[in-house]
């Protein structure tokens, strides 16, 4: 005769088997991992398409294990189901907001590269960019690689992890926060992105403007010169020379932008704290 199938309460009531503790730990750990997972999926460098999703998930779990003993976690036995859903949505919103805030650095660089390529007549020299999912000028991709190198040399990735760690101290797991601070901060950061992009592209675009004016004056005074055979190679050569000369100012601009973003995110997290 087949016996009765044991229920979950029967299994949890077995002597010496503390499955309830394991279930509570897995539930809290899952909620704790959501913020890190959302951050690593949306943040630049960590969320790049070249990094497999499995690697990002593993990194999120490992980081969550490292942070678990340093943060305050709610008691899952006192949390109703709707409260768990609310906590999950809050954690995802915080992680996505922090990750997208860091994309301002590389969005400003990408915008700079697109405007420089358009000014140099290299807008057609584009190829598929797996990160953006569209056609991106080669100049923009080159500047993006330069920005990644500068970002890593400034230990930007370590500062990102330190900020996500600090967010657990100011915005603990399961605690409400002022989402309006993230909304207003995101709008302000988006406006600042165009300002930084203008400052980064201004030296090169100004040199290219002078080169185009020179080509126009020369072709006007000597009509027998072919505009495309003379002006286009000169513009491209001027673009590369201007990029080479502007390497140091561009790196300094990236450093200032990274410093601004770090301070900006830290202030936004502090403003989002309730009370």
Give the tens place of pLDDT for each residue, 61-101. Answer: 888 888 877 777 666 667 677 777 888 888 888 888 888 88
Helix axes 179-221, 81-119, angle to 10 degrees: 10
Structure tokens at 263: 């301070």
Residue 51, phi-psi category: left (phi > 0), alpha (psi -120 to 50), beta (remainder): beta
Query: What is the pLDDT, as a whole number, of residue 8?
Result: 53
d(CA 36, CA 34): 6
Indicate yes or no: pTM above 0.85: no
The DSSP annotation for 223-272 comes to: TTS-HHHHHHHHHHHHHHHHHHHTHHHHHHHHHHHHHHHHHHHHHHHHHH
Helical ranges in 69-178 per DSSP H: 81-119, 138-153, 156-170
d(CA 44, CA 78): 37
Give CA angle at 92 (91, 98), nearest 5°. 90
Phi, psi (deg, nearest 5) at residue 134: -145, -175
Query: What is the pLDDT, as a whole number, of residue 1?
Result: 44
Task: Write out pLDDT tens, residues 145-161.
Answer: 888 888 888 888 888 88
Query: What is the pLDDT, as a whole number, of residue 273?
Result: 75
Question: Where in the chain are the domains?
Answer: 8-272
CB 211 within 8 A of CB 122: no
- Please list the residues that pair with 137 across neighbouring strands: 126
Give CA angle at 269 (263, 273), nearest 5°. 145
In which residue ranges of the chain is pLDDT below 50? 1
Which three-class secondary structure state does DSSP give residue 74? coil
d(CA 40, CA 50): 13
Residue that is written with structure tokens 């201004």 in the block: 202
d(CA 268, CA 257): 16
Find, among 180, 197, 192, the residue nearest to 97 by Cα: 180
- Give, as one character, the DSSP assignment of residue 134: E
């Amino acid at each position: 005769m087949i016996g009765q199938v044991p229920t979950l309460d029967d299994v949890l009531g077995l002597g010496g088997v503390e499955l309830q503790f394991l279930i509570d730990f897995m539930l809290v750990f899952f909620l704790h991992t959501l913020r890190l997972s959302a951050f690593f999926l949306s943040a630049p460098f960590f969320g790049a398409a070249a990094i497999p999703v499995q690697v990002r998930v593993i990194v999120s779990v490992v980081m969550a294990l490292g942070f678990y003993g340093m943060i305050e976690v709610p008691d899952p036995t006192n949390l109703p189901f709707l409260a768990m859903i609310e906590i999950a949505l809050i954690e995802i919103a915080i992680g996505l907001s922090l990750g997208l805030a860091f994309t301002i650095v590389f969005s400003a660089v990408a915008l700079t590269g697109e405007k420089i390529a358009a000014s140099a007549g290299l807008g057609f020299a584009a190829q598929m960019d797996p990160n953006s999912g569209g056609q991106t000028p080669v100049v923009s991709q080159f500047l993006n690689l330069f920005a990644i190198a500068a970002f890593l040399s400034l230990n930007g990735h370590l500062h990102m992890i330190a900020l996500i760690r600090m967010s657990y101290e100011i915005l603990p797991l399961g605690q409400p926060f002022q989402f309006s601070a993230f909304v207003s901060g995101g709008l302000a950061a988006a406006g600042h992105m165009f300002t930084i992009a203008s400052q980064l592209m201004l030296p090169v675009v100004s040199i290219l403007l002078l080169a185009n004016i020179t080509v126009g004056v020369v072709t006007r005074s000597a009509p027998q010169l072919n505009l495309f055979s003379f002006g286009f190679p000169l513009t491209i050569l001027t673009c590369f020379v201007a990029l080479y000369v502007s390497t140091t100012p561009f790196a300094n601009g990236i450093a200032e932008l990274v410093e601004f973003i770090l301070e900006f995110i830290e202030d936004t997290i502090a403003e989002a704290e309730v009370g």
